[in-house]
Homo-oligomer: A and B are copies of this chain.
Amino acid sequence: MGNSKTDRRIIRTKRFIRDALTELMEEKGFEGVTVKDLTKKADINRGTFYLHYQDKYDLLEKSENEVIQEVKEFIKKANPNEIVSANLKEQPLPFIITLFEYIQENARFMQVMLGPKGNPGFHLKIKEVMKTNMLEKLELMDNKTPPLVPLEHLMSYVTSAHLGVIQHWLEQGMEQSPREMALTLASMTFLGPAYVAGIKRT
């Protein structure tokens, strides 16, 4: 009975709205966007919007969560063994390459959401996913000695660093390949930023 996914009109309308959101956020930033703007751009009646979303914040959150969900799912597929071995060879992590590829495919949305006009809450969600993933993978490694700093700080450091580089890559028009980016990240994380910078060669 009218399962909310089967009716074409619904998915059509939702797609229109979400596309409009990306475009309009690019122009004016989330807070500059009104429901009227959205429905005008999506070419639907304003009332229709409220049939699907409570307000624009509801729309934002649902759009974000969709992306988060996708990221979670293909991160889960990452093979722990591959990761450990890649680490030891100082190779780019295959699952990080995949991540960059995914971001590249959704570049427009990701750039807006992660950019200065985006939502800080989205950053948190992404970092949370990264952190959970890293902690799990860390557990699986056998060559482990106690961390030298509080694990919480370490996680903040690495997740923020990675997200920051992703952001910058998007802003600059994604000039490097996903593979290059993954390698860059691996270098800095495994050799350390200072070493990579060229200072402190013992």
Contacts and interface: CB of A to CB of B under 8 A. Distances in A.
A81 interface: no
Report the copy number of this chain in the oligomer: 2
A76 interface: no
A174 interface: no
A172 interface: yes
A110 to B, nearest CB: 14
A51 interface: no
Contacts of A199: 87, 138, 141, 143-144
B143 A188 contact: no
Interface string A64-108: 000000000000000000000001100000000000000000000
Interface of A: 31, 87-88, 115-121, 123-124, 127, 138, 141, 143-154, 156-165, 167-169, 172, 176, 181, 184-185, 187-201
A195 B193 CA distance: 12
Contact of A157 (B87, B153, B165): B165
Contact of A192 (B120, B160, B192): B192
Given A143-B200, A144-B198, A144-B199, A161 B157 contact: yes
Contacts of A150: 176, 184
Nearest to A142: B199
B187 A149 contact: yes
Given A120-B115, A160-B160, A191 B192 contact: yes
